[in-house]
Amino acid sequence: MLNKEIIEIVNNFKKTGWMPEPEAKRLFAMAGLDIPGFAWAHTPEKAFRFADQTGFPLVAKVVSPRIIHKSDVGGVITGIDSKDKLEMAYHAFSKLDGFDGMLVEETVTGQELIVGAKIDYQFGPVILLGIGGTGVEIYQDVTMRMTPIDKGDVISMIDSLKGGKILRGFRGGEPVNLDALTLLLSGFSSLVTDLEEHIQSIDLNPVMCSGKRCVIADARIILNGTNLA
């Protein structure tokens, strides 16, 4: 069920049409989904404090209501291993359009997946699972299911992906934690059902899935009634 806070977050961003990453992640955390530890820093010092608690390496991402595709403008830096690099990232981001602070996150590893949702005209809320990474739109190794989805659906989704074997541990690779993936997908499915009237689509891209966790490393929520080109 949606609590007041989730509805408030959604309503706050109806005007811009999409929800920036820190807010989207806060929303997923409230819905019980796994996200990386993060801090939203408006000064380099706040980023340093987070680094002291979490340790390196870290990921830094620009926060800006005007930047929807962060990596296209150099707004994502991974593998940050020192305070110097963290500060450099902060200064570089501060020159970007609409800069509203920097997101600092723990580095999560694993198999890159894409998990998505869209409100389909004919079928209502639909959940997507696919092999992630930069080639996601080229290979289009994805599969869709109508909500609600259960554990059987998750298994059949994995089996319908060409890359499903990778998730099950291909050639000595670590298999992903299927329980964690099932939890993520079913939790996401019920959140999407609850948000049906408010959203157009959601990308969780990538979701990093290892033998231990399935973590939403990046997220974008496109709200209803928006027309982003």
Residue 186 in contact with residue 149, Cβ under 8 Å? yes
One-character DSSP codes across 2-60: --HHHHHHHHHTTTTSEE-HHHHHHHHHHTT-----EEEESSHHHHHHHHHHH-S-EEE
List 117, 176, 195, 207, residue binding other proteins (CB under 8 A):
117
Please report whether residue 124 would count as binding other proteins according to CB under 8 A: yes
Number of residues in the chain: 229
Total residues binding other proteins (CB under 8 A): 36
Please report whether residue 207 would count as binding other proteins according to CB under 8 A: no
Residues linked to residue 106 through DSSP beta bridges, in sequence order: 58
Count the alpha carbons within 13 Å of 181 in the hemisphere toward its beta carbon. Answer: 29
Binding flags for other proteins, 52-71, as an x/- string (CB under 8 A): ----------------x---
Please report whether residue 228 would count as binding other proteins according to CB under 8 A: yes
List 31, 104, 142, 180, residue binding other proteins (CB under 8 A):
142
Please report whether residue 143 would count as binding other proteins according to CB under 8 A: yes
Of the pair 54, 71, the CB lying nearest other proteins is at 71
Direct distance between the N- and C-terminal alpha carbons of the chain, in angstroms, rounded to an integer: 32
Residue 175 in contact with residue 119, Cβ under 8 Å? no
Please report whether residue 148 would count as binding other proteins according to CB under 8 A: no
> Maximum CA pair distance of the chain?
52
How far apart, in whole angstroms, are the C-alpha atoms of residue 150 and residue 141?
21
Of the pair 145, 213, the CB lying nearest other proteins is at 145
List 24, 60, 102, 126, residue binding other proteins (CB under 8 A):
126
Please report whether residue 158 would count as binding other proteins according to CB under 8 A: no
Q: How far is the CB of 137 from other proteins (least distance, A)?
A: 6
Q: Which residues bind other proteins (CB under 8 A)?
A: 18, 68, 114, 116-118, 120-124, 126, 128, 130, 136-137, 140, 142-146, 153, 156, 160, 200-203, 205, 220, 222, 226-229
